[in-house]
């Protein structure tokens, strides 16, 4: 892969309440139907985590990154950064941005939840060509993830996260890209927004779970979904070794982490495989090649851990998006690849149906069955076994055609039954006047509210921070003593 075209200066896309920064990489697509890539970072992360991946993309490929509200060159949002609000802003952003081609959305970590909220909000429209989910969260991810992080915590006390997990040592970012990435994370603007996203992280899972998307699968129909898993166990190995060297953790805490390391990859793979239900043409987590220009050798199994044991040959997978080897670039779907994948999966389905089709074992009965369906009873060079296999495939194809015809007939019957004639009923003068009165009352107030939000959006970030600190200092002496319900409102005693 050669270097991709450097990004253009950011384009500020106004989504109504504020503007988000869009970055364009690579030349314009040759056709309006060619998919383009949109990279979405994970929890409290900026677009800079994708720098190495973008550098390894083919130079002819158009891709986009963007800054979520409050990060990078994007403005602050008047809304809290919940997963639902971020998905809503993303839908406005895609609608207003100068992007005409269908999108292959590449999502990492928490962006798995964000993308699922986005699909729940916008549906499976022509704006989506496919998904690439990189170690992405699912609505059921939180309980096992919290258990894993709790096991890591005692050994990770006092360790620098990127160094302890080997991300800094094995990063695929150039030194310039790494310094920009780390410098951005240390900025006051980044940390303020990151704190807000952390607060919204845990509640996002039950909120998404309550939508019961699993009952509506496949949400993406036949569009391709690629799922790529990280190797969580190696994060555990490295934190364990660094923590033991530092003297962290009791013997019981160390034993518990060793046990968790042995099972975490299997559990994580099971969680991210849930994304495969988005479409019947999805692809499962794909382990990277053992040797690659952007990777280090990877052992086939997680090495056993004993107290004080050190591993010198690290696996290549990390769960952080700043590692370019997270994404198998050859697996990113294009229109041609999607067609091939669909054809291949259809062929597999046909073979499964044929294997399940019952055919006679007697060659005489096989010949009679072929004659009954008006097929040649024998072909040149065909033996009894070949003839039986041919009969099985022909019967399976006939069953498939009959099933499709039945589905079509049922669909047409349902469509005929669901047709309803549209009609209108004239409203009364009283209803018309009531609606006019509502408009006279609400529209001026809505205009005043929007104007106030626009003014508030222009207030410098430092002013917001100073105001919040002053408010926090003012409220610090107060202490909640109790509360009770008075009428319909809670009343606090301070």
The 3-class SS string of 433-457 reads HHHHHHHHHHHHHHHHHHHHHHHHH
Cβ–Cβ < 8 Å for 361, 399: no
Strands 103-108 and 225-228: unpaired
Locate tokens 């009428």: which residue?
487
Mean of pLDDT values over 136-162:
89
Residue 323 pLDDT level (bands cut at 50, 70, 90):
very low
- The mean pLDDT of 39-55, rounded to a whole number, is 92
Q: Using CB atoms within 10 A of its CB, is residue 70 exposed (0-12), middle (13-18) or buried (19+)?
A: buried
Taking 50 as the threshold, does the pLDDT of residue 307 lie above it?
Answer: no
Query: pLDDT per residue over 393-403, tens digit each?
Result: 888 888 878 77
Q: For residue 152, which of 251, 260, 44 has the smallest C-alpha distance? A: 260
- The pLDDT of residue 78 is above 50: yes
pLDDT digits (tens, 9 = 90+) for 7-36: 668 999 999 999 999 999 999 998 888 999
Give yes or no for residue 286 having a pLDDT over 60: no
In the chain, what percentage of residues exceed pLDDT 90? 31
pLDDT in tens, 409-444: 676 666 665 566 677 788 888 888 999 999 999 999
Residue 455 has pLDDT above 90, yes or no: no
Percent helix, strand and coil across the chain, each to the nearest 5: 50, 10, 40
Taking the CA atoms of residue 372, residue 375, residue 381 and residue 382 in that order, the dihedral angle to the nearest 10 degrees is -50
pLDDT at 417: 57
Per the model's pLDDT, the better-predicted residue between 231 and 318 turns out to be 231
DSSP 23-89: EEESPPPSSTTS-EEEEE--TT--GGGGHHHHHHS-TT--EEEEPPTTSTTPPPPSS---HHHHHHH
> Average per-residue pLDDT in the chain?
79
Please state, in angstroms and rounded to a whole number, the distance separating the CA atoms of residues 61 and 354. Answer: 40
Q: Stretch 479-489: mean pLDDT, rounded?
A: 64
Confidence of residue 41 (pLDDT cuts 50, 70, 90): very high
Backbone torsions φ then ψ of 235, nearest 5 degrees: -55, -45
> pLDDT digits over 325-383, tens only?
333 334 434 344 334 444 444 555 666 666 677 888 888 998 898 888 888 888 877 88
Domains in the chain, CATH or no CATH each = 11-340 (3.40.50.1820), 357-412 (no CATH)
């Amino acid at each position: 892969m050669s270097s991709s075209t450097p990004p253009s200066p950011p384009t500020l896309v106004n989504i109504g309440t504020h503007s988000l920064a869009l970055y364009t990489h690579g030349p314009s697509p040759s056709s309006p139907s060619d998919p383009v890539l949109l990279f979405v970072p994970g929890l409290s992360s900026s677009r800079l985590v994708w720098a190495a991946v973008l550098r390894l993309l083919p130079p002819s490929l158009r891709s986009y990154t963007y800054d979520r509200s409050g990060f990078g060159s994007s403005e602050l949002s008047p809304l809290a950064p919940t997963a639902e609000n971020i998905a809503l802003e993303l839908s406005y952003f895609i609608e207003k941005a100068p992007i005409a081609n269908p999108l292959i959305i590449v999502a990492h970590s928490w962006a798995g939840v964000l993308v699922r909220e986005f699909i729940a909000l916008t549906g499976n429209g022509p704006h989506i060509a496919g998904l690439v989910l990189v170690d992405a969260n699912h609505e059921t991810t939180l309980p096992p993830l919290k258990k894993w992080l709790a096991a890591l915590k005692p050994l990770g006390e006092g360790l620098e996260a990127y160094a302890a997990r080997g991300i800094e040592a094995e990063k695929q970012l150039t030194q310039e890209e790494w310094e920009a990435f780390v410098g951005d994370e240390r900025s006051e603007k980044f940390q303020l927004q990151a704190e807000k996203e952390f607060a919204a992280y845990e509640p996002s899972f039950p909120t998404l779970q309550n939508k019961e998307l699993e009952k509506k699968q496949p949400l993406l129909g036949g569009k391709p979904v690629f799922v790529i898993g990280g190797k969580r166990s190696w994060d555990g190995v490295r934190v364990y070794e660094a923590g033991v060297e530092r003297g962290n953790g009791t013997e019981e805490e160390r034993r518990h982490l060793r046990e968790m390391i042995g099972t975490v990859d299997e559990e994580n793979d099971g969680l991210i495989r849930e994304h495969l239900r988005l479409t019947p043409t999805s692809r499962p987590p794909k382990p990277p090649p053992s040797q690659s220009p952007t990777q280090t050798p990877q052992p086939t199994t997680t090495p056993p851990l004993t107290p004080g044991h050190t591993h010198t040959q690290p696996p290549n997978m990390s769960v952080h998006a700043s590692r370019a080897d997270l994404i198998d670039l050859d697996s990113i779907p294009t229109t041609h690849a999607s067609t091939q994948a669909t054809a291949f999966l259809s062929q597999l389905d046909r073979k499964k149906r044929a294997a399940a089709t019952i055919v006679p074992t007697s060659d005489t009965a096989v010949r009679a069955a072929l004659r009954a369906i008006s097929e040649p009873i024998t072909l040149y060079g065909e033996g009894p076994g070949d003839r039986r296999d041919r009969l099985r495939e022909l019967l399976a194809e006939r069953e498939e055609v009959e099933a499709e015809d039945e589905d079509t007939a049922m669909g047409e019957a349902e469509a005929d039954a669901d047709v309803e004639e549209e009609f209108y009923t004239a409203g009364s003068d009283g209803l018309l006047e009531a609606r006019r009165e509502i408009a006279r009352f609400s529209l001026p107030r809505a205009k005043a509210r929007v104007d106030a939000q626009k003014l508030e959006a222009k207030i410098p970030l430092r002013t917001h921070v100073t105001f919040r600190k002053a408010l926090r200092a003012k409220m610090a002496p107060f202490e909640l003593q109790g509360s009770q319900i008075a009428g319909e409102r809670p009343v606090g005693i301070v």
